[in-house]
């Protein structure tokens, strides 16, 4: 049973008991992202995110070779991993975003180290057990996913990682300025400007790390608001 966290100081978050978001919300968000990628090709630019640069270093230090990226979008981070020497499987629920990734890989390289797969993370990951060395997800876990769906997803990540495999992910948290703003969908999910975000309390980070080795919870900021995030690094037991 989940516990509704206390609202962040100064937020207008609803203090009513947590409710699960409607299943249709994630489908609506998928259509919204499709339209957004159509309207703004390569919307995040060509340079990798700071978390991806950190993850590439962490993966290399751990001796990783195969990287799975969840929520790869148009692929700026997937291409960074490939250019860093990793074999990459980039997944996203947007065929449009992944088409842009393949186009960039074909034009600028290295296409031979990048594979793509359209995948909704509410479904089991399309990989065998213990088949990848590292998993990366920049702001994928703070999409319109319920706590129950997040627990199932992290269990899937653990299943496909080899022993000692590294998982680096980032999420916006309840100290973010948009937490409690816009339309509330329950379960700490708030929609602002058409984008629904699951804002993480620290309690949820710890819950998703149960059975893992939690290495780091690193706070950082990104964008103009700025968005306030955590970069979480955890490993499967060896």
208 domain residue, yes or no: yes
Half-sphere exposure of 47 (CA within 13 A, CB side): 3
User: Which residues constitute the domain of residue 193?
Assistant: 23-235
54 domain residue, yes or no: yes
6 domain residue, yes or no: no
pLDDT digits (tens, 9 = 90+) for 121-165: 999 999 999 999 999 999 999 999 999 999 999 999 999 999 999
15 domain residue, yes or no: no
65 domain residue, yes or no: yes
* CATH code, 137: 3.40.50.150
One DSSP character per residue, 47-98 reads SPPHHHHHHHHHHHHTT--EEEEES-TT-HHHHHHHHTT-EEEEEES-HHHH
Quote the CA–CA distance of 72 and 95 in Å, as a whole number: 11
Count of domains for the chain: 1
Q: What is the pLDDT of residue 159?
A: 98
Quote the CA–CA distance of 170 and 143 in Å, as a whole number: 11
18 domain residue, yes or no: no
Peptide bond into 110 cis (omega under 30): yes
5 domain residue, yes or no: no
Quote the CA–CA distance of 7 and 158 in Å, as a whole number: 30
pTM: 0.86
Quote the CA–CA distance of 190 and 172 in Å, as a whole number: 11
Q: Would you say residue 21 has pLDDT above 70?
A: no
221 domain residue, yes or no: yes
Q: CA dihedral defined by 60, 62, 67, 71, rounded to 10 degrees?
A: -100
**Residue position matching structure tokens 């980032």:** 170
pLDDT digits (tens, 9 = 90+) for 76-110: 999 999 999 999 999 999 999 999 999 999 998 89
Q: Phi/psi of residue 183, each to 5°?
A: -95, 125
Q: How many CB atoms lie within 10 A of CB 215?
A: 15
Question: Is residue 217 within 8 Å of residue 229, measured between CB atoms?
Answer: no
Q: What is the pLDDT of residue 28?
A: 81
Q: Given strand 183-186, what is the order of strands in its sheet?
A: 183-186, 189-192, 195-198
């Amino acid at each position: 049973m989940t516990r509704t966290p206390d609202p962040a100081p100064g937020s207008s978050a609803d203090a009513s008991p947590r409710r699960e978001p409607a299943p249709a919300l994630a489908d609506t968000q998928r259509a919204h992202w499709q339209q957004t990628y159509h309207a703004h090709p390569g919307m995040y630019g060509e340079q990798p995110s700071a978390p991806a640069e950190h993850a590439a270093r962490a993966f290399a230090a751990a001796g990783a070779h195969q990287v799975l990226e969840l929520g790869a979008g148009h692929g700026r981070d997937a291409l960074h991993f490939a250019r860093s020497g990793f074999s990459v499987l980039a997944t996203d629920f947007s065929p449009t975003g992944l088409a842009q990734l393949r186009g960039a890989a074909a034009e600028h390289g290295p296409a031979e180290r990048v594979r793509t797969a359209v995948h909704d993370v509410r479904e089991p990951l399309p990989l065998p057990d213990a088949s990848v060395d590292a998993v990366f997800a920049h702001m994928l876990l703070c999409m319109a996913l319920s706590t129950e769906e997040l627990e199932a997803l992290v269990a899937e990540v653990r299943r496909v990682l080899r022993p000692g495999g590294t998982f680096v992910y980032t999420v916006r948290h309840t100290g973010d300025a948009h937490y409690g703003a816009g339309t509330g969908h329950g379960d700490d999910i708030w929609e602002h400007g058409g984008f629904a975000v699951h804002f993480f309390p620290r309690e949820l980070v710890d819950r998703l790390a149960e059975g893992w080795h939690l290495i780091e919870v690193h706070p950082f900021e990104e964008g103009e608001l700025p968005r306030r995030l955590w970069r979480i690094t955890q490993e499967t037991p060896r």
